Structure 1
Amino acid sequence: MGHLDAGGPDRAITDPEEASSVLEAAYAPNSLLLAGRPAWLELRLKTMRLPLADVGAVRIRGDMRLEAPPPRACCVVLRPRRGGVTISTGRETVRVSPGTLAFLPPAPCFRYADWGPDTELTTLRIDNSVVSAHHPLDAEHMLRPEARPLLVDLRQDGARALAWVMCLLAAEIRRPSGMLTSGPVADHVSGLALSSVLSAAGRDTTMPSSARNRILRRALTLADSQPHAVPSMPELAKSAAVSVRMLQEVFRTELHLTPTTYLRQLRLRRAHEELRRGDSSRTTTEAVAHRWGFTNYGRFARLYRTQYGVNPAATLRQDS
């Protein structure tokens, strides 16, 4: 069951040491320094613990520099409702503002600066163990040591579900008797939040080319190792130790086509090879098409003509 476990919205924290302690309890150890002129700070924080993630509502006024050592045990998601913040790792810097979201993997040391004048954030803190247990195929990519902070545009199709979930969480965390205090609802919403985060973050195209090539090589090796059958897309993903979604991204990036298109082309090629070896007195083009997963013969024939310039029957007669 979800429960509220931090100071309410009427409690403003102005002491930097207390603010650092509160943020450490909610997220991770940190070093906090005031940066503005004059130096001042007002922090409000409310958190809610759900079955698969901790939700936070943070409001920061004033300017400060916050440095957090590697949060190796968790991933953090930040979505500004207003204002914004610049996040850097030493290698890379991203500016998070309304309409965007930052996914922070568990490896780098993060520095937060240049806060907007009145910044409000909705956050998710997700333990690595949760990602590994519920989405093991995503964990290899999402939790890898070289992972970098990812900026997600919430207007993109793949991130709209996440935008909706974050809006819901932002509203419900401010309602002490809201629907997230119900165990079944909290279970469902936290599961949806986790899946939405991984779906959006899984679109990260900054994966090193060596990692993409390794995933692609594993998938293609399985496909080529079965001359009498064509694996399904889930089987390809399993062989590459990634999710179907991540496999789709790798295929689009490396081959400029989807796994579905690749598998259809492979089935068409296998059908062509069988027709060339076939005996028209013993088999039919319809039987060959059906054997390779083409249940609609008319569509198979059109694809075949486009690829090979002749009808399937012509290939079978020619090579019989």
Structure 2
Amino acid sequence: MTSTETTDVTEMSDVTGMSDARTAAAAAADFDTDHVVAVGPDAEPTFEKVQFATDDLEEARRSLESVLDGRQFRARLAGEPFVSRFASAGDSRLSLQTGTFTAHLQGVIPWSRDYVMSWFRSGSVTVDYPVGQLTSQGSRPFLTPSETSFAFSMTPHRHGIVHVDAAFLEAVATERHAGPPQRIVFDYAAVPTDEALDAWRTTLGEVTPLIVGEETPALARHAAQQALVRGMLDLFPWRAVDVPDTLRTERTRRLRQAAEYVHAYADRAITSADIATAAGMHTRTLQLLMSEHLGSSPTNYVRHVRLDRARQDLLSSEPGSVLVSDVARRWGFGNLGRFSASYSARFGEYPRDTLAR
């Protein structure tokens, strides 16, 4: 038995566990839209909703594989009557999803730039990706890796998902790091604090009716989506990583991982071999790829990242509070004269001038 119907706020209340979700119109009436940040001149995206339910295992497997753009989904029954339900509502910027699947499910999610956060109301999932493994912890939210494919294995479960378009999240994140939109790398292993979780759940409860309500005014939906993204940025540690857009493809995934490793460990003594190992390639391959795509050797790339960090420190410091020499040494530059020359060549001014601003 299968049904495909309209998704409404009540049906989507499983996302938050709300028992009496307000209508979108009522929520929009008192939702603060004063902090909407324009993210571009694009036309307002189209609201979309999907829902299906079935008690046929094979049909459920095929449906989920299709709607999640997955591969090699495999399902096997558990010791309980089988039922599958899935609902999604939102637009291309951000959608909320909720699902129930009372069987075991395995599969592969292909490479994607989007950011996805999940939480389980029952059951669990283990995610295997090229550089590690993640396992859900009770009902605590967690992020699945972006810009890489991963395999997953789920027990019978009920769960909620926030799916965010990469460009949208990265535009909102510029409020925090004050730079151009950049890739955001979350700490996937981080466990949110109870205080942060309470704040997140409050925000989720407030914005869900607006995000999933078909009659929500465009401005109110946009404000709700931005509020939820800000909540995600508050929930997990993250850093903005300035990597060229040409590295943010499936084909260049390993080189992007090498660049991210440099950004993560620029304050440590790292070598070309360390970077290559972290990205799963030979040192010579890393050298060739960096030269081709970044116009730089691994050593020079590390130096440039450290110069960027030194500049950030100088810009954020009050004149007289630090010495240029201290900042230089902090980022591995032992010779102040060579540091000043390299800094001037990269930024068009001397470090002392940056500090004096």
- Shorter-chain TM band: 0.5 to 0.7
Alignment of structure 1 residues 137-148 onto 2, 5 Å = 137=179, 140-142=182-184
Match of 1:109 in 2: 149
Matching residue's letter, 1:82: S
**Distance across 2 between alignment mates of 1:47 and 1:139:** 27
- Structure 1 segment 225-264 matched on structure 2, within 5 A: 231=315, 233=316, 263=317
Aligned residue pairs: how many? Answer: 222
Tell me which of 134, 137, 142 is aligned to 1:97: 137
Structure 1 range deviating more: 209-218 or 198-207:
198-207
What is the CA–CA distance in structure 2 between the aligned matches of 1:74 and 1:187, rounded to whole Å? Answer: 18
Asked if structure 2 preserves the Cα contact closer than 8 Å seen for 1:52 and 1:194, the reply is no
| Counterpart residue identity of residue 51, structure 2 | G
Q: What are the superposed Cα offsets for residues 258-305 of structure 1, whole Å, 9 maximum, x if unpaired?
A: xxxxx25x63357xxxxxxxxxxxxxxxxxxxxx99xxxxxxxxxxxx
Pairing 1:29–2:67 present: no
The counterpart of 2:118, out of the listed 78, 92, 96, is 78
Per-residue deviation at 1:36? Answer: 4.3
**What are the superposed Cα offsets for residues 224-247 of structure 1, whole Å, 9 maximum, x if unpaired?**
5xxxxxx3x3xxxxxxxxxxxxxx
* Per-residue deviation, 1:45: 0.7
Q: Is the 8 A contact 1:63 1:113 kept in 2?
A: yes
| 2:218 equivalent to 1:183 | yes
The partner residue of 1:57 within 98, 111, 130 is 98
Q: Which residue of 2 aligns with 1:311?
A: none
Residue 130 of structure 1 corresponds to 168
Correspondences of 1:282-301 after superposition (within 5 Å)? none
- Quote the offset at 1:5 in angstroms: 1.3
Q: Deviations over 1:197-225 (max 9, x none)?
A: 2333444799635544265541323655x
Q: Any conservation in 2 of the 1:154–1:163 contact (CA below 8 Å)?
A: no
Q: Which residue of 2 aligns with 1:6?
A: 50
Specify whether residues 56 and 68 from structure 1 end up closer, same or farther in structure 2 by C-alpha distance, changes over 3 A only.
Answer: same
Residue equivalent to 2:61? 19
Larger radius of gyration: 1
Matched, 1:199 2:237: no
| TM-score relative to the length of structure 2 | 0.50
Matched to 2:311, the amino acid is: T
**Alpha carbons of 1:6 and 1:124: their partners in 2 closer, same or farther (altered >3 Å)?**
same
2:275 is aligned to none
3-state SS of paired residue (1:79): strand
Shift of 1:98: 3.4
Q: Distance in 1 between matches of 2:180 and 2:235?
A: 12
Distance across 2 between alignment mates of 1:75 and 1:222: 27
Q: Give 1:162 shift.
A: 3.0
Q: Which amino acid aligns with 1:126?
A: V
- Name the % identity: 8
Q: TM-score, normalised by structure 1?
A: 0.55
Aligned partner of 1:278 in structure 2 is none
Task: Return the letter of the residue paired with 2:224.
Answer: V
Instruction: Output one character per residue of 1:44-76: Cα deviation in whole Å (capped at 9) or x when no partner.
Output: 111111463011011121112122122x24221
**Distance of 1:176 and 1:269 partners within structure 2:** 52
1:161 and 2:203 correspond? no
* Among candidates 65, 76, 85, match of residue 44 of structure 1: 85
Stretches of structure 1 that go unaligned for 5 or more consecutive residues are 225-230, 234-262, 271-291, 294-320
> Could you say if the C-alpha distance between residues 94 and 105 of structure 1 is closer, same or farther in structure 2, counting changes exceeding 3 Å?
closer
CA contact (8 A) 2:85 2:101 kept: yes
Query: Aligned equivalents of 1:78 and 1:222: distance in 2?
Result: 33
